[in-house]
Amino acid sequence: MKRSPFIVREAVASHPREISLKILITGGAGFIGSAVVRRAIADGHQVVNLDALTYSANLDNVEDVASDAGYAFEHVDVCDRPKLEDVFARHAPDAVMHLAAESHNDRAIEGPLDFVRSNVMGTAILLEVARNYWNGLDETRKAAFRFHHVSTDEVFGALGEDGDFTEETPYDPRSPYSASKAASDHLVRAWGHTYGFPVVITNCSNNYGPHQFPEKLIPTVITRALEGKTIPVYGDGRQVRDWLHVDDHAEALLLVLHKGRLGETYCIGGDASKRNLEVVKLICAHLDKMAPANTPHADKISFVTDRPGHDFRYSIDSSKVEAELGWKARMPLEAGLEDTVRWYVDNYGWVERIRERGFHSDRLGLVKA
């Protein structure tokens, strides 16, 4: 499988390497989680990748590091307390990065309780197992331990035509997915305040890049275009998202783990806001060059019924993480989209293996009477 070279090569030199840790990363076979796993191994850390391997997880995403001496995989659900306790006892991690979550809004509309189970109960169980483990550490390791909870900007609700989300924005989740993530954020803060558990939280904008499961906007557009299918755009396509390349995000997450202040929240955005329809047209233009069809790919755009409760606009102000930790997104959106399109074109076998498992990008999330 061909890898995207841009961010990892550039970012490794951007921040001095921190002390090596053994990091338990939940959801490490998913899209963002696998990027964190790859980056952590590249930075010299040991990684325990804990994943339940639900529909969107894919161990192909970490095949480049799977043979590394510092990598271990545990097929465990975060809701399985006895197995979690066993993983902590055997691996003795120095830190936890919690990325395991159900994350697709359309799927949450059809099966909200799956999201409550994984995102709410799973987080609570993981917190309690981690807290009990932390209480048993010696004073030096206990003082150094951290629990980093990775969340979304969707917990803040929706913006109008202007303004940005910050760490001070009140929570106003509008969907079953964002409500489940908001609940998990509150649980993490409660464990910090009540038990003195050393937590830090990040809320990110929309991620994109290689290895993203083809149910989110960007990989859906690319894969359906490559298959000669129509390209669905929800509503009028005027919704605005702040796009963050996943490798930029992975760099920021590890930096927050090392240097973020305990008990704090950091918003991480890409400083790359664009309307969905504009993003789709940019992707189509790249596809016209890399995988031309008989007609321009943009001719396949089809406006479809919008998602119920679809938030209009998200945008993140990342000034806190920039000022305190010196991080700033560096991948320009157009270059990142070109890099992403190229990866899917060059690695279409990755998509075909997903199709063989029965996933065909069928529409979900329409409320049924």
Any catalytic annotation for residue 128?
A: no
For the question of residue 344 being annotated catalytic, the response is no
Q: Given 71, 74, 133, 177, which residue is catalytic?
A: 177
CA 84 vs. chain centroid, Å, equals: 22
Contact predicate 123/99, CB 8 Å: no
Instruction: Mark whether 153 is an active-site residue.
Output: yes
Check 51, 74, 102, 154 and give the catalytic one: 154
3 state SS of 148: strand
Which residues lie across from 24 on neighbouring strands?
A: 48, 96
Active-site residue, selected from the candidate residues 43, 74, 102, 153: 153
DSSP 243-282: EEEHHHHHHHHHHHHHHSPTT-EEEE--S-EEEHHHHHHH
Residue 368 φ/ψ, nearest 5 degrees:
-100, 140
Cβ-contact 337, 222 below 8 angstroms: no
Sheet holding 46-51, edge to edge: 71-75, 46-51, 22-26, 95-98, 146-152, 199-204, 265-268
Place of tokens 């090392």: 258
Residue for token digits 């959106």?
A: 333
Residues 36 and 98 sit within 8 Å (Cβ to Cβ): no
- Which residues fall within 8 angstroms of residue 262, CB to CB, at 6 or more apart? 146, 192, 198, 199, 200
Catalytic positions, written as ranges: 153-154, 177
